[in-house]
Chains A and B, each alone.
Chain A
Amino acid sequence: MQSNAALEYDYSVAKLFVYTTIAFGFVGMLIGTLIASQLAFPELNYLFGEYGTFSRLRPLHTNVIIYGFTLSGIWAAFYYSAQRVLKVSMAESKFVMFLGKLHFVLYMIAAVSMVVTLLLGITANKEYAQMEWPLDLLIVVIWVVWGLAMFALIGIRREKALYISMWYYIACFLGVAMLYLFNNMEVPTYFTSGGLGSIMHSVSMYAGTNDALVQWWWGHNAVAFVFTVPIIALIYYFLPKESGQAVYSYKLSLLSFWGLMFVYLWAGSHHLLWSTVPDWMQTMGSIFSVVLILPSWGSAINMLLTMKGEWNQLTENPLIKFMVLASTFYMLSTLEGPIQAIKSVNAIAHFTDWIPGHVHDGVLGWVAFMIMAALFHMAPRMFKREIYSKKLIEAQFWIQTTAVVLYFTSMWIAGITQGMMWRAVDEYGNLMYSFIDTVTVLHPYYAIRALSGVLYLTGFVMFAYNMIKTMTSSREISEEPQFRSPMA
C-alpha cells in the first residue's frame, strides 16, 4: 500500500526523550557550573555536606551530561528521524511502539538510579563507566531494547537503502555495546564471599595496566560512539532538512564513515601516553589520532559544503547558525585532539586543564549545539506549532558561543601554564615551583571558566523556555513545514 501521500509519523516516544533532554541538560549543566565554581571558590564545596564536594559531584556532572542529556537528545532525534528516513511510521507496528516505550521507561529507571548511586558514592570508579554492576546489567537491557526497536523498524521499512544517518545510528549501537560489555566486566563480591558486605560492590576483571587499557579503549570510544558518531547522524539529517540542500558529496560521506569506523578505535591509547602501557601501543594511538583528522574533517567539510551557494541562510536562520558553528567546533575539536595526542605535546598537556578545555569545545560547541538545533527543528513538526521566538534563539546563540570561547581559551591558558610550571627548573636544575604554586596561579582562569558556565547555562535556560513555550502556547500551524522551521 505505497502511496505518495505523506505518512503520518508517530512522535510519542520521540517527545518523551525531548522532555528528558531538556531536564537532564539543565541538571547536568547546573552541576557543571557549580563544580567549575568550586575550583575558583572552594567554599562552594560545603553546600550539601559530604554529597556536595567537587569530587563527588564531578562524575554526576559527566554522567548526567553524557547519559542523560546527550543520549536523550540522540534518542529523541532517532525516534523522530529514523521513521522518516526509513519511510515507516512507528504506529504501524505495535511491537516497535512497545519497544520504544519500554526503552524510555527502563532508561528513566536507570537514570534515576544512576543519580542516586553516584551521589551516595556507590561507584566502580572507572571514568564514564562509574555505574555499579546492577545498573550495568540494566543498561545492557536498555541497549538491547533500543537495538531491537531500531532493527524492527528497519525490518518493516519502505525505503530500502539506509540513509547516512542510519549508518551512524547502527555504528553507535554496535560500538557502545561492544565497548561497554568489555569494560564493565566485573565480579560482584557479595556472591563470591559467602554473602559478605554490600551487594552493590564489584571488583574489576582486569588489574592495573590492563584495566587502564580496557578503560581508555572505552573512555575514548565513548567519546567516539556517543559524542561523535550519533551526533554526525543528527547533522546528516537535520542540516539538509533545515536548509533544503542536498548533502554535498555521497562519496565523501562514505569515505568519512568507513574511515571513522576503522580509525577511531586505534586512537584510544593516546589517553595513556607516557604511562606503563607498552611503547608501541602509545605510538599507535598517537599516529592513528593524527590520521583521525581525515574522516573527522571529511564529515565536517561535507556538511559545510552542503551549504554551498546558500550561505545567506546563515544570516537568516538561527538554526543554520547553530549547525554550521557545530560543524566548525567539531573541526576545531578534532584538530586539537590529535595535537594533544602527539607525545611531546601530551607530555605537557596531560593531567592539565587543557584536556577538559578540549572536551568542552567538543561537547558545548558541537554536541550540545547540534542537539539543541535538532530539538528546535523537530518542535514545530512534533507539536504543530511554530517556534516561540526567533529573537530568543539569536540571543541564546551569541551568549552560548561567547561561553564556549571563554571556556576553551581560559583552559588553554590554564593548561599550558600549569604544564610548563610543573616542569620548570632553575639554573641548577631544581624544580622552580612547588605544586601549590601551580594551583594558585590558575585562579583567574578558573573564575573565567565558572563565568563561562553561568553564561552557557543561561543560554540553556533560554532554550528550555523557548521550547516549553513552543510546545504549549506558540501559534499553531496547519501544514508541516517542508524545510526551514517557522518561528515567530
Chain B
Amino acid sequence: MFHWLEKRPFFFAVGVFLVIAFAGLIEILPNFAEAARPVEGLRPYTVLELAGKEIYKKDNCIACHSQLIRPFKAETDRYGQYSLSGEYAYDRPFLWGSKRTGPDLHRVGNYRTTEWHENHMLNPPAVVPGSIMPAYKHMFTNKADIETAYAEAVTVKNVFNTPYGDDIQPGKEAFEKHFKSVVLPEAQKIAADMKNQDVKDAVAKGEIPEIVAMIAYLNSLGDSRYAAKK
C-alpha cells in the first residue's frame, strides 16, 4: 500500500491529511460548546478595560506573566482560588501565557491597587527590590486607543453575543456618546487615585493615557468583575 501511495502524490496527500486531522476532531471538537460558557455573575470587560487589555497585548505582558492559577496549594496560597474555565469566557484571545518570569496575574486586582501599579510600572525595582521587569514609562505618555477597544466591544457583542448594554452600537456617534458618558468617568476615577500630574491633566482634557487603561484592566482581573463578590 505504501509503495502504491508513494507513486500517487494526490492520494498520498489525502492520506497524510486524514491522519493528521484525526486528532483534532476527537480532542478539540467535543468540548467546544461547554467550555465557552461563562461562570455565573461574570460581566464582560468595560471598554476602558478592553483598551487596557490591548496595551497588555501590545507590550506583550504574556512574555513573562501568566493568567492561570493551577490547582496546587502552593499556587492558591500565593495567588488565590485556582482558575476556572468559565472565568475566561470573555477573553479573546486567552492570555494564560506560558512563562512566569514574573508572578501570575489572574487575580492581581484582588491584592494590588491603582497606586501600587502606578509606582510599579514607572520603576519596578523601586517597588520590588531585585525585580528584573523593565519600566514602562511610555505608558504614561502614549494615549490609549479607546476607539479600537470600543470597536472590539461592538464586534464581540454583535458577532459572539457578549452581553453588553444597548449603548454599545456601531458608528462614530454611538462611540463618542459612550466615551463621554462611560469611559471618561471610569478613567477619571482611576486618575483620581494616581499622583502623576501629567496623567491627571490629560484625563481632565478628555484624553486617556495608556497607563490609566492598563490599570483599569489589571484591577479588573479578580473579583471586581463579579457583581456578587464586589
Indicate whether A436 sits within 8 Å of B129 (C-beta atoms), given known contacts A192-B158, A196-B150, A196-B151. yes
Stretch of A4-12, A44-52, A71-79, A391-399 that contacts chain B: A44-52
Interface flag for A423 (CB, 8 Å): yes
The closest CB in chain B to the CB of A346 belongs to B70
Interface flag for B190 (CB, 8 Å): no
Interface flag for B155 (CB, 8 Å): yes
Interchain CA distance A289-B72 in the complex, whole Å:
23
The listed residue (A123, A204, A215, A352) touching B58 by CB distance below 8 A is A123
Stretch of B61-69, B111-119, B192-200, B215-223 that contacts chain A: B61-69
- Nearest-CB distance from A420 to chain B (Å)? 10
Q: Are B35 and A347 in contact (CB under 8 A)?
A: no
Interface flag for A131 (CB, 8 Å): no
Interchain CA distance A53-B138 in the complex, whole Å:
11
Interchain CA distance A137-B69 in the complex, whole Å:
35
Q: Are B36 and A439 in contact (CB under 8 A)?
A: no
Stretch of A263-271, A377-385, A468-476 that contacts chain B: A263-271
The closest CB in chain B to the CB of A422 belongs to B74
Instruction: Give how many A residues have a beta carbon under 8 Å from the other chain's beta carbons.
Output: 91
A-facing residues in B27-62 (Cβ within 8 Å): 27-28, 31-32, 35-36, 54, 57-62
Q: Are B61 and A161 in contact (CB under 8 A)?
A: no
- Nearest-CB distance from B62 to chain A (Å)? 7
The listed residue (A175, A189, A254, A423) touching B74 by CB distance below 8 A is A423
Indicate whether A198 sits within 8 Å of B148 (C-beta atoms), given known contacts A208-B36, A276-B84. yes
Q: Are A123 and B60 in contact (CB under 8 A)?
A: yes
Q: Are A55 and B63 in contact (CB under 8 A)?
A: yes
Chain A, residues 249-274, CB within 8 Å of chain B (1/0): the string is 00000100010011011101101001
Q: Are A193 and B27 in contact (CB under 8 A)?
A: no
Q: Are B145 and A198 in contact (CB under 8 A)?
A: yes
Interchain CA distance A55-B64 in the complex, whole Å:
7
Interchain CA distance A282-B103 in the complex, whole Å:
24
Q: Are A196 and B175 in contact (CB under 8 A)?
A: yes
Q: Which A residues touch B125, using CB under 8 A?
A: 42
Q: Which B residues touch A38, using CB under 8 A?
A: 132, 134
The listed residue (A126, A154, A174, A284) touching B20 by CB distance below 8 A is A174
Q: Are B92 and A207 in contact (CB under 8 A)?
A: yes
Interface flag for A113 (CB, 8 Å): no
The listed residue (A151, A170, A440) touching B16 by CB distance below 8 A is A170
Q: Are B151 and A190 in contact (CB under 8 A)?
A: yes
The listed residue (A209, A254, A265) touching B35 by CB distance below 8 A is A209
Q: Are B20 and A175 in contact (CB under 8 A)?
A: yes
User: What is the interface residue range for chain B against chain A?
Assistant: 35 or more
Q: Are A262 and B134 in contact (CB under 8 A)?
A: no
Interface flag for A39 (CB, 8 Å): yes
Q: Are A355 and B101 in contact (CB under 8 A)?
A: no
Interface flag for A140 (CB, 8 Å): no
Q: Are B36 and A265 in contact (CB under 8 A)?
A: no
Q: Are B170 and A192 in contact (CB under 8 A)?
A: yes
- Nearest-CB distance from A52 to chain B (Å)? 9
The listed residue (A39, A53, A209, A276) touching B136 by CB distance below 8 A is A53
Q: Which A residues touch B90, using CB under 8 A?
A: 207-208
Q: Are A162 and B7 in contact (CB under 8 A)?
A: yes
Q: Are B93 and A261 in contact (CB under 8 A)?
A: no
Interchain CA distance A45-B125 in the complex, whole Å:
13
Interface flag for B164 (CB, 8 Å): no
Q: Are A211 and B150 in contact (CB under 8 A)?
A: no
- Nearest-CB distance from B55 to chain A (Å)? 8
Interface flag for A486 (CB, 8 Å): no
Interface flag for A213 (CB, 8 Å): yes
Q: Which B residues touch A154, using CB under 8 A?
A: 9
Interface flag for B224 (CB, 8 Å): no
Q: Which A residues touch B214, using CB under 8 A?
A: none
Q: Are B2 and A254 in contact (CB under 8 A)?
A: yes
Q: Which A residues touch B172, using CB under 8 A?
A: 194-196
- Nearest-CB distance from A168 to chain B (Å)? 10
Q: Which A residues touch B86, using CB under 8 A?
A: 208
The listed residue (B83, B132, B138) touching A42 by CB distance below 8 A is B132
Interchain CA distance A42-B75 in the complex, whole Å:
27
Q: Which A residues touch B159, using CB under 8 A?
A: 187, 192
Interface flag for B171 (CB, 8 Å): yes
Interchain CA distance A277-B170 in the complex, whole Å:
34
Interface flag for B89 (CB, 8 Å): yes
Chain B, residues 144-172, CB within 8 Å of chain A (1/0): the string is 01011111101110111000000000111
Q: Which B residues touch A288, using CB under 8 A?
A: 23
Interchain CA distance A125-B62 in the complex, whole Å:
8
The closest CB in chain A to the CB of B68 belongs to A275
Interchain CA distance A350-B66 in the complex, whole Å:
11
Interface flag for A314 (CB, 8 Å): no
Q: Are B131 and A265 in contact (CB under 8 A)?
A: no
Chain B, residues 1-26, CB within 8 Å of chain A (1/0): the string is 01100110100110011011111100
Give 19 A-B contacts (CB < 8 Å), ordered by A residue: A55-B60, A121-B57, A123-B58, A125-B93, A162-B6, A167-B12, A170-B12, A189-B148, A189-B152, A194-B171, A196-B175, A197-B150, A198-B145, A204-B93, A211-B88, A265-B21, A268-B27, A269-B27, A275-B70
Sample of 8 further A-B pairs with CB below 8 A, known A162-B9, A203-B92: A127-B62, A167-B6, A178-B17, A201-B151, A276-B85, A276-B88, A278-B31, A431-B78
